[in-house]
Amino acid sequence: MNESLLFDWMLGAFALGAAASVALPLGGVLRRVALVCAAIGSASALALGLSVLRAGATWTARWDYLLQPLGGVALRVDSLGAFFLLIIGFTGLPASLFAIGYLKHLDGRMRSRATHALFNIFLASMCLVTCADNGGTFLFVWEVMAVASYLLVISDPEQADAPTAGLWYAVMTHAGFLALLAAFIILAQGGSWEFPVLHNASTLLSPGARGAVFVLMAAAFGSKAGLVPLHVWLPRAHPAAPSHVSALMSAAMVNLGVYGLVRLVFDLLPPGPPWWGGLLLGIGVITALTGVLYSVAETHLKRVLAYSTVENLGLVFIGLGFALLMRGYGYGALASMGLVAALLHTLNHAAFKCLLFLAAGSVVHGTHNVSMEMFGGLIKRMPATAMLSLLGTLALAGVPPLNGFASEWLTFQVLVAGAQRTAPALAILLPLALAGVALVAGLAALSGVRLFGITFLALPRSTGAQQAKESTRIMVVAMAIPAVACVVLGIAPTSVIPQLSRIASDLGQPAGPLSAGLALSVPLVTSRMWAAMIAAVAISAGAAAAVAVRMVGRHRPVRVGAAWNCGRIIQSARSEYTAAAFAEPLKRVFTGFYRPTQEVTIDVHPASRYFVRSIRLRADLAPWMEEVLYGPFVRATRAVSDRMRQLHSGSIHFYLALLPGALLMLFVISRWLR
């Protein structure tokens, strides 16, 4: 199909959805129209991305009369942009369909207008970020995306922590915006901000300036992607937003941080020194470890998933850092392989994270609870959600034959291939990175067992879980879409490898053959992973065992009885393991990281302190990263703003004097700039 037509459909659908949210009367029709428009827009984005990738041609468009002060609107969808556009469309579609059922309770409330309009605007701005071809357009839609998502994060008044979460998010995203602005200014060196022009102008930069641009943009995009230590907004903002928005934020928006960095480093800037890659690789490992360690310890369901997003983006940046490192040392093919591994993991993560956040929304919607400690036994009351969550959790845990394992395996292989090329710095860095990835993979499996087991299995731990209701059919269908993708991408990862290889070779050197039939293969280390055949072997073995069980003991007596609790007479849900208890052995191993705090309050009878009425234990994880890294900033800002308050003297003469003072300053500055 014609790309321009698809683009028009995409923007038109989003615009129509936003307009309908404002114009139509409150009610179910508004919700359905707005969200169906969002779905159509997402589907068009998906089709546009697929079309550009399939055809291998770039689509461009220009509107010079829009945004004139910023240099006009210039759009370009090349293979890289198409890939990320595809991811946004692919996650936007199930999120929109899910919201049709999920947001039913908002019908008739004024809030629904803003929620549905902002949803469409959010999707549109994300799609446009991947199409932007000059700095002005990029920054404009970046800011629109930030504002739309901020408003969506604080949109639910029932979330007590939403305003604080929104504040963290707003401050950090705007700090990133300033860094981006500064980087573009340095990069442009006073000339045009068009990306092709910047591509050429960057070669004229001094190495120091190039390094500064890299650090500024890495900080800005890294913050959006949730790299440590700039990740602190993510575990606050993602849980506070409505679940379908969280799904988009975790599965689509964080990827734009990846997109920005790849665009910058692989497209706009010339090949840089190895320390760029080493820095990203190191930060990636730290991020992945931090994310997975916290995701194991948290008990708020959506915060577990948010930290898991941090972990997976860490894995993506390990691939990216590796690619940069190899490029710095001149191994172009290895660099491209690393880039392919990073992009594959981005796609896979988008699929299973979207599924899991939608499933979390389903669980929260059905039980009216958010803490894992209040769940349990949901597999019997919400069977469809449980089944789909199991697929998502298996993908998150990185076990074969699902897609989480496919990209993790590829990351392992490229790290081993890189380690075979000796260079002194790599002798220490790459084995440590490999060990880090392996530890993260193991801990992700732990997190997955805990997530699924505590939430869905055993007996209900609260009345909300006891009376849980399954989600409506549209919500289940919406969850099934990414679930199918997880399975398909796991069994046949080679279906996307050619496109990813094309992206990598467009940006650098060809990556070499990475697929052999349905198997991923890395000739450099002569290894292969044929997920489809492995799945076939496993399923046949399991089926054979099932047949044997059926046939051999046909008259075997099978009874249903109480669970064996060592003969305890009173059996209840209190004897089950809790989410905090499940993570306890790990918390002991990593005490230095978690810094757990414990507070015991003993309430005694006023008559005598030997009669204890109640004992309350509060065990918490101290948020030491925020304290250590952001505490000084927050305190300094407060101190400065307290000082500035003195300007609010109440004297009208002072306020009136400020006006000509400002005009004078503007006059002087404009004369000086001339």
Partner 1 sequence: MMRDALVIGVQTVLLIVIAPAIVGYVRLMKARLQGRRGAAVVQPYRELRKTFRKGMVIADSASWIFHLAPFVIVGATVAAASLAPVISAAQPADLLGDLFVLAALLMLGTFFLALGGLDPGTAFGGMGSSREMTVAALTEPTIAIAVLTLALTTGSTSLGAIAGTVLKTPAYAIGPGHALAFAAFLIALIAETGRLPVDNPSTHLELTMIHEAMILEYSGPYLALIEWAAAVRLTLLLTLAANLFLPWGMATSLAPVALVAALLAIVVKLAILGLLLALLETRVAKLRLFRVPELLALSFTLALLAAASSFFTK
Partner 2 sequence: MKLFHKIRRTGIVTEPLSVDGTDGVALAREIDARARSVFGRALAIREVDAGSCNGCEVEIAGLSGPVYDMERFGLHFVASPRHADMLLVTGPVTRNMAVPLRMTYDATPDPKLVVAVGDCARTCGVFAGSYAVAGPVDSIIPVDVTVAGCPPEPTQILQGILAAIGRFELGGARRA
| Segment 552 to 571, residues that bind partner 2, using CB under 8 A | 557, 559, 561-562, 564, 567-569
The residue among 189 and 572 lying less far from partner 2, judged by its C-beta, is 572
Task: By CB under 8 A, name the one of 54, 109, 380, 635 that touches partner 1.
Answer: 380
Instruction: Report in angstroms how near the CB of residue 568 gets to partner 2 at its nearest.
Output: 8
Phi, psi at residue 204, to the nearest 5°? -85, -10
In angstroms, the CA 503 to CA 669 distance is 46
The pair of three-digit structure tokens given for residue 586, joined into one six-digit string: 């790990």
CB of 461 to partner 2, least distance (A): 23
- Cα gap 287→281, rounded to integer Å: 10
Site string for partner 2, 119-158 (x = CB under 8 A): ----------------------------------------
- Residue whose CB is less far from partner 2, 564 or 672: 564
State which residue, 540 or 571, has the beta carbon closest to partner 2.
571
- Span near partner 1 by CB under 8 A; candidates 139-147, 347-355, 425-433, 659-667: 425-433
Terminal CA-CA length for the chain: 50
CB of 519 to partner 1, least distance (A): 7
Contact of 311 with 444, CB cutoff 8 Å: yes
Q: Which is nearer to partner 1, 185 or 446 (CB)?
A: 446
- For partner 1, give the closer residue by CB, 20 or 356: 356
Cβ of residue 567: shortest distance to partner 2, in angstroms?
3
The listed partner (partner 1, partner 2, none) that binds 476, CB under 5 to 8 Å by sort, is none
Q: Which of residues 550-589 bind partner 1 (CB under 8 A)?
A: 552-553, 556-566, 573, 575-577, 581-586, 588-589
Closer residue to partner 2 in complex, CB, 157/557? 557
- Nearer residue to partner 1 within complex by CB, 585 or 606: 585
Count Cβ atoms below 10 Å from residue 402 Cβ, excluding itself. 27
**Using the rule CB under 8 A, is 650 a contact of partner 2?**
no
**265-284 residues near partner 1, rule: CB under 8 A:** none
Q: Which of residues 241-260 bind partner 2 (CB under 8 A)?
A: none
The two three-digit tokens of residue 642, written as one number: 């307290």
User: Which residue is it, tokens 């757990």?
Assistant: 596
Candidates 26, 61, 175, 416; binder of partner 1 (CB under 8 A) is 416
Which partner in partner 2, partner 1, none is near 567 (CB below 5 to 8 A by kind)?
Answer: partner 2
* Contact set for partner 1, span 427-456 (CB under 8 A): 427-428, 431-432, 434-439, 441-443, 445-446, 448-450, 452-454
Residue closest to 196 by CA, chosen among 268, 116, 99:
268
> If we measure between CA atoms, which residue out of 360, 207, 322 comes closest to residue 269?
207
Residues 136, 71 contacting (CB under 8 angstroms): yes
Evaluate whether 30 touches 112 at the Cβ level (below 8 Å). Answer: yes
Q: Interaction with partner 1 in 381-400: which residues (CB under 8 A)?
A: 390, 394, 397-400
Quote the least distance from Cβ 588 to partner 1, whole Å. 6
Q: Which option in partner 2, partner 1, none does residue 25 bind, with CB closer than 5 to 8 A by kind?
A: none
CB count within 10 Å of CB 390 equals: 16
CB of 15 or CB of 439, closer to partner 1? 439
Binding partner at 83 among partner 1, partner 2, none, C-beta below 5 to 8 Å by kind: none
Q: Which is nearer to partner 2, 559 or 613 (CB)?
A: 559
Closest CB to partner 2 among 558 and 644? Answer: 558
Between CA 378 and CA 457 the distance in angstroms is 7
Among 22, 541, 602, 604, binds partner 1 (CB under 8 A): 541
Q: What's the half-sphere exposure (Cβ side, CA atoms, 13 Å) at 446?
A: 22
Cβ closest to partner 2, residue 157 vs residue 567:
567
Task: Say which amino acid occupies 595.
Answer: R
**3-state DSSP assignment of residue 277:** helix
Give 428 or 617: the residue with its C-beta nearer to partner 1: 428
Cα–Cα dist 179/183, whole Å: 6
- Residue 535 CB, nearest distance to partner 1 (Å)? 8
| Cβ atoms within 10 Å, residue 106 | 20
Q: Which does 569 bind (CB under 5 to 8 A by kind): partner 1, partner 2, none?
A: partner 2
Interacting span for partner 1 (CB under 8 A) from 29-37, 226-234, 504-512, 538-546: 538-546
| Dihedral sign computed on CA atoms, order 101, 107, 113, 114 | negative
Cis peptide before 401 (omega within 30 of 0): yes
Return the one option of partner 2, partner 1, none that residue 69 interacts with (CB less than 5 to 8 A, by type): none
Instruction: Return the residues of window 517-536 that contact partner 1 according to CB under 8 A.
Output: 519, 525-530, 533-534
CB atoms within 10 A of CB 655: 12
Report the alpha-carbon distance of residue 319 to residue 313 in Å, rounded: 10
Q: Please identify, using beta-carbon distances, which residue of 569 and 673 lies nearer to partner 2.
A: 569
Residues in CB range of 240: below 8 A, 6 or more apart:
153, 154, 156, 159, 161, 162, 165, 166
* CA quadruple 173, 179, 182, 183: dihedral sign: negative
Total length of the chain:
674
State how far the Cα of 413 lies from the Cα of 528, in Å rounded to an integer. 9
Residue 270 DSSP SS3: coil
Beta bridge partners of residue 140, listed in sequence order: none
Please, are residues 297 and 390 in contact by the beta-carbon 8 Å criterion?
A: no
**Closest distance between partner 1 and the C-beta of residue 439, in Å?**
5
Applying CB under 8 A, the residues found at the interface with partner 2 are 557, 559, 561-562, 564, 567-569
